[in-house]
Amino acid sequence: MASLAKDFFIGLSNNDFLNKSARKFGTRFGAERFVAGTVFDAIIPTIRELNQKQIACTMDHLGEFVTDRQEAEHAKEKIIDMLHQIHNEKLDCHVSIKLTQLGLDIEEAFCIQNVEQILEVAHACDIFVNIDMEKYIHYDRTLKILKLLRKSYLNVGTVIQTYLYDAEKDISDLEDVRLRIVKGAYKEDSAVAYSSKAAIDKNFLVIAKKRLLGKTFTSIATHDHHIINELKKFIEEHQISKDHFEFQMLYGFRVDMQHQLVKEGYKFCTYIPFGEDWFGYFMRRLAERPQNLNLLIKDIFYTEDNKLKKQPIIIGAAALTMLLYLRKRK
Ligand SMILES: Cc1cc2nc3c(=O)[nH]c(=O)nc-3n(C[C@H](O)[C@H](O)[C@H](O)COP(=O)(O)OP(=O)(O)OC[C@H]3O[C@@H](n4cnc5c(N)ncnc54)[C@H](O)[C@@H]3O)c2cc1C
């Protein structure tokens, strides 16, 4: 059942028509719990508030699988504007980008050029840029581009997904690179990725521990308290400095735990997605945790003070009447 729900939401996240249609609605249907807004300006107070609570942020201007050059260039401009604003407003904030938003599926050289322009501004503003890891079909090219960019820019890193069989081998090549370790959010073939939670979690721990003992800063990105607790023990046993790593979670997830980790003296960073292309991101979050569907249903059917909204009742009643009518006609 859980796997069916996962496949269903992953399927929706890849649906081009739904992704495009959702842009018209702004963040709605419960997505506003996980997507901070549609424009960066409006989110600055949220970032400031988190910074005041010792929480750093990484901003994701949502968008992926772009197939139009103008759209990719527009995304690049938006990211560059955001870098200037982060710098001018002195926010404790870095940026996460996706190569398919910047033209990877259009032309590799064009994508690299876009990322170089972003990195140039980020370097001038002293801001780190993280390249999110997407579906496996983009994996090798993402690592290849990262290595190429690292020859000119040191303010760039990427993500390793522990569901991939190759993850452990690949981190040995990335010892000098700041990495974020995640389980992996996409549906991948069993030829390249583990599918059982136990195997993915085991690999997460192996990789995170190797990185913690290594020489470069690592972001441990998970909401899984079992993993966090085991790593906390490991960190203490090996007397690893709290400046050598940070925990990361997504905006709107396990907020109490985010604050608790800060209280315990750990570095913490919240990943904040924003923008009009929220649909694919939101569907992947529902795929990971179908319980989030409860929030969505609550938002559709109930007002903030827990009263049933009238509109869905009217639509539901109309749909039911229609169904009964059609059955009667048969
Ligand atoms: C900061 C950040 C950046 C990411 N970047 C990428 C990326 O670039 N590429 C990519 O493929 N993926 C990325 N991901 C997504 C990641 O790969 C996982 O899909 C996602 O984090 C879910 O896995 P999990 O580690 O949180 O644990 P899960 O396996 O989803 O959860 C494990 C357990 O933790 C508990 N739990 C989890 N969430 C909650 C909750 N909300 N409330 C209560 N209990 C909960 C439950 O007990 C659950 O069984 C990112 C995730 C984060 C946090």
Which residue has the CA at smallest separation from atom 48 of ligand 1?
224
- pLDDT band of residue 13 (cuts 50, 70, 90) is confident
Give domain status of residue 144, yes or no: yes
Read off the tokens for 200.
């993915």
Q: Please state the pTM of the whole predicted model.
A: 0.88
Q: Is residue 174 part of a domain?
A: yes
Residue 310 within a domain: no
Show the tokens assigned to 267: 């570095």
How many angstroms does the Cα of residue 183 sit away from the middle of ligand 1? 7
Give tens-digit pLDDT for 119-145.
999 999 999 999 999 999 999 999 999
From the CA of 183, give the closest atom in ligand 1: 17
Give the long-range contacts of residues 71-80, CB within 8 A, separation 24 or more.
72/101, 72/102, 72/103, 72/106, 72/110, 72/111, 72/114, 73/114, 75/101, 75/102, 76/102, 76/114, 76/117, 76/118, 78/40, 78/275, 79/118, 80/117, 80/118, 80/121
Whether 254 is in the pocket of ligand 1, judged by its Cβ within 6 Å, is: yes
> What's the CA gap between 241 and 175, in Å, rounded?
18
pLDDT digits (tens, 9 = 90+) for 278-303: 787 888 888 877 666 655 655 555 55
In a domain, 266, yes or no: yes
In testing the pocket of ligand 1, which one of 98, 224, 268, 286 has its CB within 8 Å of the most ligand atoms? 224
At a CB cut-off of 8 Å and minimum separation 6, what does 287 contact?
5, 6, 7, 8, 9, 10, 13, 185
* Nearest residue to 250 via CA among 219, 229, 271: 271
Domain assignment of residue 19, yes or no: no
Catalytic residue set: 132, 180
Per-residue pLDDT reduced to its tens digit, 207-225 = 999 999 999 999 999 999 9
Q: Is the beta carbon of 249 within 6 A of some atom in ligand 1?
A: yes
Residue identifier of the C-alpha nearest atom 53 of ligand 1: 249
| Counted domains in the chain | 1
Expressed in angstroms and rounded, the spacing between residue 231 Cα and the centre of ligand 1 is 16
Is 8 within the bounds of a domain? no
Neighbours of 169 (CB within 10 A): 9
Place of tokens 């750990």: 266
> What amino acid is encoded at 97 in this protein?
I
CATH of the domain at 51: 3.20.20.220
Question: 3-class DSSP state for residue 182?
Answer: strand
Assess if residue 84 is contained within a domain: yes
Cα–Cα dist 200/194, whole Å: 6
**Residues spanned by the domain of 161:** 36-274
Going by the DSSP 8-state scheme, the letter that residue 178 receives in this structure is: -
Q: Does 304 score more than 90 pLDDT?
A: no
Q: From ligand 1's centre to the CA of 248, what distance in Å?
A: 10
Q: Is 289 in the pocket of ligand 1 (CB under 6 A)?
A: yes
Nearest-atom number in ligand 1 for the CA of 249 is 53
In a domain, 281, yes or no: no
